[in-house]
Amino acid sequence: MRSLLRIAFEVGYLEKTKYEALRDRMIGLSRLLAGQIRAIRSTRKAVLRAVRTYSQQTIKIIAGKVASSLN
């Protein structure tokens, strides 16, 4: 988006002050989105760890029940 904004400025569709204001808003938006992406990735990793732990515990419980039923 920032590159398109720059092109619009370079070809004369935007005045310098308007370009700079929009560019600053785009930079702020980019930072906001980057923070959201980091948070989503962090949450996703935490969920995957929890699922993996739960799955391992469930497998151990089931294996124990199967083993005890065979005795």
* Residue 8: both structure tokens together: 């619009």
- Which string of b and e fits 39-71 if b means at least 16 CB within 10 Å? eeeeeeeeeeeeeeeeeeeeeeeeeeeeeeeee
- Report pLDDT digits (tens) over 53-63: 888 888 778 87
- Report pLDDT digits (tens) over 11-54: 999 999 999 999 999 999 999 999 999 988 888 888 888 878 88
List the domain boundaries for the chain: 2-70
- Report how far residue 49's alpha carbon sits from residue 44's, in angstroms, rounded to the nearest whole number: 9
- Per-residue confidence band for 71, with pLDDT thresholds at 50, 70 and 90: low
With 0-12 CB in 10 A as exposed, 13-18 as middle and 19+ as buried, what is 6?
middle
